[in-house]
Amino acid sequence: MAAISRRRFLGLTAAVGGGALLAACGGGAPAPTATPVPVAKPFATVAPTSAPAAAGGAAGGSTASSAGANAAEPLITAKPPQRPEPITLRFHFRAGGDKSEPAIYVERPGEWSQVTGHKIALEPIPSGKEYPPKIVALATAGNLGDLMFTSVSEANHFFFVQNKLIEPVDDYLPKYNIKKEEWVSAIIKTLTIGGKMYGMPKASNPAEAHFAINLKLFEEAGLKKPEIYGNSFDDLRNWAIKLTKGPPDRRDVYGIYSHTYANQAVTNGVRARGADLIDAAGEKSLVDSPQFNDWLQWNYKLYREDKVHPMPDVLKPGDSNALAGMFAAGKIAISQIHRSWMVAFKTAVGDKFPWMFVQHPKLPNAKGWVANIDTHSATTQSKYKDEAFTLTYALADRRFAYVVAKGQGYLTGRVDNLEAIGPELAKDPFLQIQQKCTEEEEPWWIAKNLRQLEVEAELLNQLDTVWLGKRPPDKAFIGDLKKALDDVLAKPPL
């Protein structure tokens, strides 16, 4: 692919908030500082991150220090053609991923290097709004690497596809005998754009479709151990009220933490009631629906009326480490949980008390959970497309499912996850419930103008006024929220 023109670059960087990068047009944009991926030791030697299961239906499941049945899974099944000399692939990813997700960014790429003889240079880039402009700057200078992380939740995946920075996978799948049916259908639908599929799925998690339950606090409150599936919103609220202890202005124990500070969590809350947050075309908000109002009122009661939910001055919303710490200390009895928080929760809880997971309540007419997809995608500027593709597949294959489940404590988007990870890991209750929720996913709404982060920021800022008691959750608020979201969705496309 030819380098992006200066005019196109100026438009793109301005659109995605990258004005500070315009100086890059004056010369070739330098590649981020690279970190070479070490050749991997056999993954079976890596210590497990999950805590042993506690008694009474606890969450940890089994992650034995031995490799388990699927350690013998072939390290690499899609191997690129041999070259006379080894090459080095440049891999753009979210900064910090090699520390927070070492199984994904160190161990698995190391295995690919071990088998192919090629090297990988990790090039970290800050996530969020900074990520697209830096990728565009590199592409404009003709200095884009060979593969990169992309995100559906932030809509940058579609932005990169739209601007022809991602290589389609359709010609490579049959070449390496790979079938799309290896992944859940919501992934294929989402990543197929204009009849072509872009990227290999790192994961497709159902976001905050689960709640962690402190069974010790349940027993002390005289509550029965809940069922994993089929609980109602009233059940959760009633449990939270009974589990809460201490004065209303500063509880000793908060009955529940409901995650209201992420687009994906809000969307799941509305979908569980049978509607959606944004229409399928990505052009209009649906916050004036009865289902959104029901979600809003339910959470308002937890925050403002029942006072069973920690306020932001007690717990910074979305701080998974602090949330895990409060849950482990018995300060929060029920916590909505994202799959990426599992290492923090399991490490914090250890064997302090028995705990379990339940599925997010949903009504009979519920829509599917969001398909929160991340990919690793080969770039159109790569000179080593076969190598780049086979590495992206190694970050989506059966072996990858095992490595991620063992090292990170969660699942990928494969239909055969539980089979691929082996019988020991498959006993983990959280992995079982996550797989069921993943299979129930439907494609996530995407803003047509790709202003996903702006929609989320406006949504959360407006909702914050309700949680803090600055505005009541009435028709006037919903009217103002709808107008604000629709105004964002009506902006010119990125």
> Who wins on pLDDT, 128 or 160?
160
110-150 confidence digits (pLDDT tens): 999 999 999 999 999 999 889 999 999 999 999 999 999 99
Mean pLDDT, residues 42-47 taken together? 36
Q: How many domains does the chain contain in total?
A: 2
Mean pLDDT, residues 349-363 taken together? 97
The reply to whether 304 falls in a domain is yes
Place of tokens 């006379």: 84
Judged by average pLDDT, the poorest of 7-16, 141-150, 298-307, 332-341 is: 7-16
Judged by average pLDDT, the poorest of 45-59, 197-211, 271-285 is: 45-59
Q: What is the largest CA-CA distance in the chain?
A: 72
Residues 255 and 311 in one domain: yes
Q: Hey, is 210 helix, strand or coil?
A: strand
Q: What are 490's strand-pairing partners?
A: none
The answer to whether 112 and 391 are in contact (CB under 8 A) is yes
Residues 131 and 249 in one domain: no
The reply to whether 67 falls in a domain is no
> Who wins on pLDDT, 410 or 55?
410
The reply to whether 57 falls in a domain is no
Q: What is the pLDDT of residue 154?
A: 87
201-223 confidence digits (pLDDT tens): 999 999 999 999 999 999 999 99
All residues at 6 or more sequence positions from 289 whose CB lies less than 8 Å from its CB, including other chains: 270, 275
Q: Which two tokens stand for residue 408?
A: 């990170």
The answer to whether 197 and 368 are in contact (CB under 8 A) is no
The reply to whether 56 falls in a domain is no
Spatial CA neighbour of 419 closest among 199, 78, 391, 411: 411
Mean model confidence pLDDT for the chain: 89
Strands (E), 64-162: 88-94, 119-125, 147-151
Residues 178 and 90 in one domain: yes
Q: What is the pLDDT of residue 473?
A: 98
Residues 163 and 200 in one domain: yes
The reply to whether 494 falls in a domain is no
The reply to whether 104 falls in a domain is yes
389 pLDDT above the threshold of 70: yes
The reply to whether 66 falls in a domain is no
66-99 confidence digits (pLDDT tens): 334 455 578 999 999 999 999 999 999 999 999 9
Residues 182 and 274 in one domain: no
Residues 322 and 356 in one domain: yes
Check which CATH number belongs to the domain holding 162 and give it: 3.40.190.10
At residue 434 the predicted structure's pLDDT band, cuts being 50, 70 and 90, is very high
> At 477, which amino acid appears?
F
Q: What is the pLDDT of residue 73?
A: 72
Which residues form the domain of 127?
Answer: 6-50+73-205+374-440
Residues 226 and 201 in one domain: no
Residues 17 and 85 in one domain: yes
Residues 98 and 135 in one domain: yes
Q: What is the pLDDT of residue 62?
A: 31
Sort residue 197 into left (φ over 0), alpha (ψ -120 to 50) or beta.
Answer: beta
61 pLDDT above the threshold of 70: no
Radius of gyration for the alpha carbons in the chain, expressed in angstroms and rounded: 23
Phi, psi (degrees; rounded to nearest 5) at 116? -85, -20
The answer to whether 221 and 243 are in contact (CB under 8 A) is yes
288-320 confidence digits (pLDDT tens): 999 999 999 999 999 999 999 999 999 998 899
**Distance linking the first and last C-alpha atoms of the chain:** 21
Determine what percent of the chain is predicted with pLDDT higher than 70.
86
> Which of 423, 440, 457 finishes a domain?
440
Q: What is the pLDDT of residue 37?
A: 67
Residues 421 and 355 in one domain: no
The reply to whether 156 falls in a domain is yes
Q: Hey, is 14 helix, strand or coil?
A: helix
Residues 408 and 474 in one domain: no
Spatial CA neighbour of 380 closest among 86, 139, 109: 139
Sort residue 288 into left (φ over 0), alpha (ψ -120 to 50) or beta.
Answer: alpha
Q: What is the pLDDT of residue 395?
A: 98
Residues 395 and 262 in one domain: no
Q: Which two tokens stand for residue 162?
A: 């739209």
> At 150, which amino acid appears?
T
Q: What is the pLDDT of residue 494?
A: 83
Transcribe 262-331 into DSSP letters: SHHHHHHHHHTTT--SB-TTSSSB-TTSHHHHHHHHHHHIIIIIS--S--TTTS-TT-HHHHHHHHHTTS
